[in-house]
Amino acid sequence: MTDAIATIEKPSGSFASDLWRQFRAHPGGVAGLIVFAFIVVAVYLGPFIHTIDPNKIDIKAKNQGPSWAHPFGTDNLGHDMLAQVLAGGQISLAVGITAMLLALLLGTLVGVLSGYFKRIDGMLMRITDLFLALPLLPLLLVIIMLFRDTLRAAFGPETGIFILIVFVIGVTSWMHTARIVRGDVLAVKSQEFVLAAKASGMWEYRVILKHILPNVMSSIMVSATLGIASAIITESALSFLGLGFPSDFPTWGRLLFDGANFLQINPSRVLWPGLAISLTVLSVNYIGDAIRDALDPRTMKR
């Protein structure tokens, strides 16, 4: 009896533990997770340690290099660059995450409906193709120029621009997610368990929620991580062109735009925000690669 019990195999771990084990096997993903976690903690907890007001003007300390008082130096108005990088990181990360959630919601909705309901598949995919064919940067510039003043008057200069930037990035970034999710839905809906659920008389929306969405969640998670990086780059590009947030509301892209004219006088003004953007985007991309590899059915030993 004891020998029989001893031969019983131990049950495999949970899905989360298997996913984490596969994720840890990806050195780049682990490094990316550590770097991204450090950046998030730094930008949100750093202002409680480095308590200098990012908008405080000190003309006597303008265009200084790194020092104990100002570790990242100062700009032409005496603003502390470390305080501005930390404050700008909060806005850039908030824009990236919020825009990613909007794009993910739209892309998942279109992809699931297109893949599951054949009668609207053609229409939704042609709309997706139309958005993919649009020149995105000129479209973003036109939308911002048309609605910037209206939203500023309605919600204030900061909140209005935040809503506008998140909206324009979100509605122009969902197409790739929609195509990926549609392909996964087409593969899942022909499986036996989905056919059995439909044959049992289960409502369509319950089939989607209980059987379709859980089986395409891996693609959605990968799109989410990569969407953050794409949104941060887009926001930085818009701010660098002077069409993002106002100068007294710094983001990493805005700091690059303001420091470009002082590149030869004070190179650190573009070094630190550029480094923050690069590290954030690179770490998020590594995290996305690791999640994709961890969710690969060929590596999930269950």
Domains detected in the chain = 16-50+79-294 (1.10.3720.10)
Per-residue pLDDT tens for 38-75? Answer: 999 999 998 898 888 888 888 888 888 788 888 888 88
Confidence check: pLDDT of 10 > 70: no
Q: Whole-angstrom Cα distance, residue 171 to residue 183?
A: 21
Per-residue pLDDT tens for 183-223? Answer: 888 888 888 888 888 888 788 888 888 888 888 887 888 88
Per-residue pLDDT tens for 255-301? Answer: 888 888 887 788 888 888 889 999 999 998 888 888 887 776 555 54
